[in-house]
Amino acid sequence: MAATLGSSPSDLLSNLIPKSFKLKTKQQELLIRVSILCLVYILAFITRLFSVLRYESMIHEFDPYFNYRTTLYLTEKGFYDFWNWFDSESWYPTWPNHRWDPLPGSHGHGRHHLLGPPVPPVHRSHPGTALIAICPGYISRSVAGSYDNEGVAIFALLLTFYLFVKAVNTGSLAWSLASGIWFVGFQHVQSGEHMAAMGVFFLMQVFYLLDWVKYMLSDTKLFQAFLRITVGSAAGVGAVALGLGMASGYISPWTGRFYSLLDPTYAKDHIPIIASVSEHQPTAWSSFMFDFHILLFLFPAGLYFCFKRLSDATIFIVMYGLTSMYFAGVMVRSKGKTTTTGSTRGTSGSKASSRALPDQSQPFQKNGAIALLVCAFFLLSKYVTHCTWVTSEAYSSPSIVLAARGAHGNRVIFDDYREAYFWLRQNTPPDAKVMSWWDYGYQITAMGNRTVIVDNNTWNNTHIATVGRAMSSYEDEAYEIMRSLDVGYVLVVFGGVTGYSSDDINKFLWMVRIGGGIFPVIKEPDYLVNGEYRVDKGAAPKMLNCLMYKLSYYRFGELVTEYGKPPGYDRARGVEIGNKDVKLEYLEEAFTTSNWIVRIYKVKPPNNRW
Amino acid sequence: MGVLLIPRLTLTLTIISLFIFLSRSSSQEILINNAERRIDLSTHIVKVFLTLKFHPTNCVWINMYVELMSFFQVENIGTNAVSEILLAFPPTQADHLAFVEALATTGKRKKKTYVPLVVKPTELPDAPNETKYFSISLVNPLNSGDTTTLEVLYVFTHSLEPFPMEISQSESQLVYYRDSALILSPYHIKQQTTFIKTPTTKVESFTRLDPTNRAGTEMKYGPYEDQPPYSYSPIIVHCENNNPFAVVEELVREVEISHWGSIQITEHYKLVHAGARHKGIFSRVEYQSRPSFSGVSSFKHLLARLPPRVHSVYYRDEIGNISSSHLRTDSQKSDLEIEPRYPLFGGWKATFIIGYGVPLQDFLFESPDGRRYLNFTFGCPLAESVVDKLTIKVVLPEGSKDPSAAVTFPVEQHLETKYSYLDVVGRTVVVLEKKNVVPMHNTVFQVYYTFNPIFMLAEPLMLTSVFFLFFVACVAYLHIDLSIRKGF
């Protein structure tokens, strides 16, 4: 059987394998498919281990520490307690009622294969699986140690789409049910952002109802009248329901993040807190190239082939590809989602082009095919080297441990964050409240095990603005705010000694803006000189005496940071600081890490009044 | 002099002991000719060397080490043979007593040999002021008129009380040491001297009881002549001590034996600086720029002495790896130099985990009766540290039977069961617990058990059979046609 039906690879195999082990074509295909998949899985897994080998098995970014903490709670206390969990360690004193945004799980690796099959219905796309497995855009969200929902979300997204396409292709109710209510929950009824999907759903119902009625009614006039009445009343009822839902608050309004997805400039003008997150910035072109490499060129090619063989499934893929491309352009954060489509398109692009050529009988057919294959091989190998390099250099360094090259080429590790968090954990009272900028909130609760005032779940803008206001006020005003919030310790991040640039002084502009957005006493021009934030002698007087400046530069004026420079030379900003004689009245230095990156101050108890 | 005094001393002693120790005949019959005590306060572990001497033919030395080392010479002046000597401690000291060791010396000068003696706590029914006793069993009973020399080392922990209780970063740490100038003893002591060695020459104050001398880092109390039993004269020494007061509040060492060739050890430390509490600010700029003045009582470096040929060493805590450590290995030992994440000031705490593996053949042996035994070091690998509560868990391989532990000093023991990967019945865990552990406890102990090597194959067999079944299922699935239609 195998001999008669077998294609060229099975002929090759039949020569290699003894007669008794000869496999059927179907079995050979299965074997090859399974082994390719296994290899791709192994590759995807191994390439994500760079971070563990370079550093250690630890959580990289700021946000996943919350996921880690919830997972820990879930595993320690069990499922029932988890649903009733009241997290008292964050957002003191205005705890959110419930926060279940993440139901964390393990990383989903290259499940692209699931999306592959339905698209070109016969040829499953193993190369696509391989491409996505090592694509940097996806790796940046799913390296070992990036314990985030995005790793799972992309998998869930793909699975939903796979089920959807499958449902469309087969027309089976089971598949459509599976795709429908799997991951989205009840969001599509309750949140304004998902209303559009809801609307489409209703439109479909109306359309099919009308279709059915048209089929039943033979008279065209009667149908026209019916059409007018139904559409009118359906639209009316829909509008009233939407209005009522909005008014009663059952349907949540659009959030700022959603607005900024539609209009990239929206956040900059209206919601500084969203604009302050680097992930929410529009993506630069170079980073598209950095993250997608050849996929960026294969994407249009894939689109072309999708249009060429148009079906329901390919239309879906085209839609998905184009919208995700747009969103990726608007927000860095969405880039991961594009990756999947990019690689799907890329795959079909490359594959189709490599298959297209031999089909047509042209002169130099064989040579042309070989040249094309060599080109494809060259491109793909370039892609692999690029991906490996990007993964190892750019996406495998944890933000919590900083590494630099020493004078002799040796690696110097700055582990100051954990030094400070561990100090908090061990040497402060267990009920101490720590005030810091919200970026460090999750880390302080997870690693320092202490209650924070604000954290990365930026649900309460006013509260964050209060912290921003405290940081940008004079010490005595800030002390009042801190007393009212029951703050025991203040934590600031300072890069002046090491030249670490994402420190609190560089984030200070957002503290002023967010604080000023709610509390008009904070006026941004007070901190600016010629429209610039400065820390040297030319800085604005309010800047030189605000709490953040004092806490960052307390006793920094005595320190010589760089040979040949005056004491108090800030290496992160490259200037000599303007106020070297910082005196603290209401706070005292409690701990400063070995490279000064994290500084913790204790809020003094109020003086006894006689 | 001793010879002349003996008759009179015998008389007085007999009278005293008749009144005080009617119940205890042995006490009256012993006379300490010469006692020399050397108290070493140079670290936070107080060692006393006590040497007790009896007359050349009638003596016992007792040598006491907080590093208290006393040197007793004990003489039997009674008529009965004496087989045990008593050491007495006031109750405040007894609570902090971590270790007592007694050696009998024989021979003279360079030919001296030491014989370790059995020391165990005893109770006396009429002990004055709740005095606690230890009895030293002599190898050869001391006949009337015999003498012997005993050297006793005993160690106190938590006996240096910081005063002032709280110091700032720039101050150095001062401590009180309280003791008695006269050795507390149920026996008459003819002549005694106490030397106290302080860590530095800076001594704030000390109680005088003439003759008292101080020179450099050493103080000399005595010699005092003819002190009756239970003489006591409290003294207090207030001196500087900036040595690291590293106290491990709790140490759990887990020793997991695998007969596949390795022993894996995991040690969980809860470390605290038990000296004067840190007060006020911690200034990094002071700490960095003036290391000799600022934070002198703090410590940053710790040394863990690990067995030779260790491998896979790690040093971490709850939030990840701690990058500041160095491992130096040679054929005799492995030194792991570690730094906590931050310098420890008084009252600051740090928890961390050290883990390492050692080759099985270095520590696991087979005894002549066919049982296997683990021969491992008790105590804490950190140099110069006190452990308040030490728990050693020896995890035996699955299938081990009849475990028993042999430790040279009293420890609490019980058994537990632990489940690890692919365990069915669980592993037997021998748990040894001891409070107040000092470096002198770093001696070997043994855990004996019987083990049938066939159990080693259990887990690989389980794994292979699971895979085998999986493949069989796959093959079956591919060959069986489950469709209802007739396939022709």
Residue A293 sits in the same domain as residue A376: yes
Does A533 reside within a domain? yes
The verdict on residue A520 lying in a domain is yes
What's the pLDDT at B27? Answer: 45
Number of Cβ pairs < 8 A linking chain A and chain B: 62
Q: What does the pLDDT read at residue B115?
A: 84
User: Strand, coil or helix: what is B444?
Assistant: strand
Helix (H, G, I), strand (E, B) or coil at B253: strand
Q: Are strands A532-533 and A569-570 parallel, antiparallel or unpaired?
A: unpaired
The answer to whether residue B307 scores a pLDDT higher than 60 is yes
Nearest chain B residue to A556 by CA distance is B285
Nearest residue to A343 (alpha-carbon basis) of A380, A371, A310: A380
Which alpha helices (DSSP H) does A282-414 contain, by range? 285-292, 295-308, 312-330, 335-359, 365-393
Sorting pLDDT into bands at 50, 70 and 90, what band is B303? Answer: very high
Q: DSSP assignment of A158-178, as one string?
A: HHHHHHHHHHHHH--HHHHHH
Terminal CA-CA length for chain A: 103
The percentage of chain B sitting over the pLDDT mark of 90, rounded to a whole number, equals 36
- Interface residue of B281, B325, B339, B481 to substitute, partner A, most A CBs within 10 Å: B281
Question: Using a CB-CB distance cutoff of 8 angstroms, which residues of chain A are in contact with residue B319?
Answer: 418, 421-422, 425, 447
Give B318's contacts in chain A (Cβ within 8 Å): 425
Interface test with B, best of A440, A592, A597, A601 (most B CBs within 10 A): A592
What is the ipTM metric for this complex? 0.84
CATH of the domain at A550: 3.40.50.12610
* Residue A467 contacts residue A518 (beta carbons within 8 Å): no
A364 and A429 both lie in a single domain: no
Do A322 and A430 belong together in one domain? no
Same domain, A592 and A463: yes
Query: pLDDT-based confidence at B19, cuts 50/70/90?
Result: very low
Q: Is A52 touching B (CB cutoff 8 A)? A: no
- A423 contacts in B (CB within 8 Å)? 341-342, 348
- Residues constituting chain A: 610
Q: Looking at the structure, do residues A379 and A474 belong to the same domain, yes or no?
A: no
Structure tokens at A184: 């989205």
Of A426, A556, A588, the CB nearest to B281: A588
pLDDT recorded at residue A597: 93
Whether the pLDDT of residue B333 is over 60: the answer is yes
pLDDT at A255: 64
A55 occurs within a structural domain? no
Same domain, A363 and A451: no
The pLDDT assigned to B119 comes to: 87
Residues in chain A where the model's pLDDT stays below 50? 1-10, 13, 96-125, 181-188, 356-359
pLDDT of res. B365: 93
Q: Which of B264, B200, B321, B455 is nearest to A54 (CA)?
A: B321
Tell me which of B36 and A145 has the higher pLDDT: B36
Band of the pLDDT at B58, cuts 50, 70, 90?
very low
Residue A100 and residue A67: Cα distance in Å, rounded?
A: 10
Residue B255 has pLDDT above 90, yes or no: yes
CB contact under 8 A, A596 and B284: yes
pLDDT for B253 equals 95
Instruction: Specify the pLDDT at position A8.
Output: 46
Choose between A264 and B487: higher pLDDT: A264
Q: How far apart are CA B348 and CA B250, in angstroms?
A: 15
- Residue B285 amino acid letter: V
Q: Is residue A423 domain-shared with residue A379, that is, in the same domain?
A: no
Q: Closest approach of chain B CAs to the CA of A69, in angstroms?
A: 12
pLDDT of residue A250: 66
Whether A168 is covered by a domain: the verdict is no
pLDDT value, residue B3: 43
Mean pLDDT of B72-81: 65
Same-domain status, A377 and A424? no
* Cβ-based neighbour number of residue A463 at 10 Å: 19
User: Is 70 exceeded by the pLDDT of residue B29?
Assistant: no
Phi and psi at A440, nearest 5°, equal -100, 5
Q: Is residue A128 part of a domain?
A: no
Query: Cα separation of A509 and A272, whole Å?
Result: 10
Out of A47, A67, A84, pick the residue that ends a domain: A47
**Confidence at B394, pLDDT banded by 50, 70, 90:** very high
Contact A600, A592 (CB under 8 A): yes
> Does A147 fall in a domain?
no
Q: In the structure, what pLDDT confidence band is assigned to residue B448 with cuts at 50, 70 and 90?
A: very high
Q: Which structural domain range is residue A455 located in?
A: 416-603
Q: Are residues A436 and A308 in the same domain?
A: no
Q: Does A321 reside within a domain? A: yes
Of A422, A427, A558, the CB nearest to B317: A422
For residue B54, which of B34, B77, B37 has the smallest C-alpha distance? B34
Residue-averaged pLDDT of chain B: 83
DSSP character at residue A317:
H
Considering A37-51, A565-579, B13-27, B137-151, the range whose residues carry the highest mean pLDDT is A565-579
**Helix, strand, coil share (%) of chain B residues, nearest 5:** 15, 50, 35
- Closest Cβ opposite residue B342 in set A27, A30, A419: A419
pLDDT reading at B475 higher than 80 = yes
The pLDDT value recorded for residue A4 is 38
Q: What are phi and psi of B383, to 5 degrees?
A: -70, 145
Residue A332 shares a structural domain with residue A457? no
Residue B266, pLDDT > 90, answer yes
Q: How many domains does chain A have?
A: 3
Preceding peptide of B164 cis, ω within 30°: yes
Q: Is residue B78 pLDDT above 70, yes or no? A: no
pLDDT the model gives residue B244: 87
Report which secondary-structure segment, H or E, holds A187. helix A187-190
Same domain as A526, residue A439: yes
pLDDT digits (tens, 9 = 90+) for A148-201: 666 667 777 777 777 777 777 776 666 665 555 444 444 445 555 566 666 777
| A358 and A477 housed in the same domain | no
Half-sphere exposure (Cβ direction) of A46: Cα atoms closer than 13 Å: 8
In this predicted model, which residue has the larger pLDDT, B126 or A515? A515
Read off the tokens for A527. 């901190």
In a domain, A310, yes or no: yes
One-letter amino acid of B469: L
Residue of A nearest to B271 (CA): A426
Domains of chain B, first to last: 2-240 (2.60.40), 246-453 (2.60.40.1730)
Name the residue facing B319 among A27, A421, A591 (closest C-beta).
A421
